[in-house]
Amino acid sequence: MKTLAPESRLDFAAIRKDFPIFTQKAHGKPLIYLDSTATTQKPVAVIEALDHYYRTTNANIHRGVYAIAEEATARYEEVRGKVARVLGARSSSEIVFTRGTTESVNLVSNAWGRKNVGKGDVILLTEMEHHSNLVPWQMLAAEKGAVLRFIPFDGRGKLDLSGLDALLEGPVKIVSLTHMSNVFGTINPVAEIARRAHARGALVFVDAAQSLPHLGVDVRALDCDFLAFSAHKMLGPTGIGALYGKREHLDAMPPFFGGGEMIREVKLEGSTWNDVPWKFEAGTMNIADTIAFGAALDYVERIGYEAIVEHSRELVTETMKLLGEIPGVTIYGPSPAERGGIVPFTLDDIHAHDVATVLDHEGVAVRAGHHCAMPLHRKLGVAATTRASFYVYNLPSDVAVLAEGVRKAKKLFSK
């Protein structure tokens, strides 16, 4: 990765060159990728790490005593240690590898939820949750006869905490919320909510799928009980992510999946479980992508979260300025200082898919739809929004092309 001297600002144009996909063209024009909230592009270092594993160290982990199996196991477990360090966890044993945020939520809602949530108990969520942090809790509530409550958001896309004490009254077992909205980009006050929830005896689950890539996360500063994220949203491969859980909760939870590796002893009549975190990692895990994710963590750390936050804020500020100058554009969410690298908008009564199609022909890739947040859009009173989202490979010139494309869409559909 090429950067300027330490005393200078990072050269994000040079960083962009680390991503092979930007040699591609879309409809004959340079690719401008503004859908990093959905998934990020991958630098050469990550691609090469994946290739290197399959070429040199492809073996199953925790089982073989031969050289490449031991090396694969060591490299896999090394990444667990990296994740623990990045999150500020007390121990690598508090890190469980999963397929991603969705699986992590389902793991906790099933393994912890079925044991601890009963009829009449309360699960507190927010109105801005991704479906992945909504549907599993709905399923648990339906099965157990539990009650769902929701922290509302206001007209600026920020959580309204004025009624939080009332929402926390009664048998609230868990509060599960996003740290950074995948639609608004809003950065929620998780530490404050966790403090108030713990005072009422509730646990706290944090969806950090967006916040970890953009802001960094310290689980002890947040004092959350569980936290989940996906590697592919921070330059890593798809199909790998992790669940952080305080050790006392993981020890008390039964397994979610049964099979090989998650057991200590198996008899025909029954089994005993392995220690955490392996108790929750049944079968052959996603070894190659886990190792490649370690390379992604290294890459993000070399850039530094301070630089990522500053870069994203500059891009968001410019985007909101240029789009705000276009008549008929409505931008949703808080100020640039209160959000990560996400800007959702609508254009007159033109459907978001039509706007995105025009942008695609300009080489600009954005997301259009409800972004797996249908209740949020229903409250906004719109069927869909167009969402531009940024990461380390985006430049101010991308924003200029985006704005010009939106102007073209307005002109085309105003005829």
Q: Look-up: residue for tokens 């109105």?
A: 127
The average pLDDT across 310-321 equals 98
Quick: pLDDT tens for 178-233: 999 999 999 999 999 999 999 999 999 999 999 999 999 999 999 999 999 999 99
pTM recorded for the entire structure: 0.95
The residue type at 394: N
Three-point CA angle 242, 247, 251, nearest 5° = 100
Instruction: Tell me what pLDDT residue 6 has.
Output: 38
Quick: pLDDT tens for 57-112: 999 999 889 999 999 999 999 999 999 999 999 999 999 999 999 999 999 999 99
Instruction: Tell me what pLDDT residue 234 has.
Output: 98
Q: Give 397's pLDDT tier (boundaries 50, 70, 90).
A: very high
Q: Give 21's pLDDT tier (boundaries 50, 70, 90).
A: very high
Q: Please, which residues have CB within 8 angstroms of residue 95's CB and are 6 or more apart in sequence? A: 80, 83, 84, 87, 89, 242, 243, 244, 277
Structure tokens at 169: 């009254």
Catalytic residue annotation:
372
Quick: pLDDT tens for 272-293: 888 889 999 999 999 999 999 9
Q: Give 264's pLDDT tier (boundaries 50, 70, 90).
A: confident
Distance CA 363, CA 151 (A): 38
Choice between 410 and 414, residue whose per-residue pLDDT is larger:
410
pLDDT at 121 over 70: yes
pLDDT at 324 over 80: yes
Give SS3 for 78: helix
pLDDT at 364 over 60: yes
Instruction: Tell me what pLDDT residue 2 has.
Output: 36
Q: In the 3-class helix/strand/coil scheme, how is 354-380 assigned residue by residue?
A: HHHHHHHCCCEECEEECCCCHHHHHHH
pLDDT at 339 over 70: yes
Tell which residue, 322, 338, 313, has the closest CA to residue 154: 338
Strand 203-207 to strand 226-230: parallel, antiparallel, or no bridges (unpaired)?
Answer: parallel
Instruction: Tell me what pLDDT residue 4 has.
Output: 35
Instruction: Tell me what pLDDT residue 41 has.
Output: 98
Average pLDDT, the chain: 95
Task: Return left, alpha or beta for 348; rule: phi > 0 is left, psi -120 to 50 is alpha, else beta.
Answer: left
Tell which residue, 25, 23, 26, 3, has the closest CA to residue 13: 3
Instruction: Tell me what pLDDT residue 109 has.
Output: 98
Distance CA 87, CA 153 (A): 27
Instruction: Tell me what pLDDT residue 415 has.
Output: 64
Instruction: Tell me what pLDDT residue 273 has.
Output: 87
The average pLDDT across 49-63 equals 96
174, 124 Cβ separation under 8 angstroms: yes
Distance CA 40, CA 237 (A): 9
Distance CA 117, CA 138 (A): 12
Q: Give 1's pLDDT tier (boundaries 50, 70, 90).
A: very low
pLDDT at 53 over 80: yes
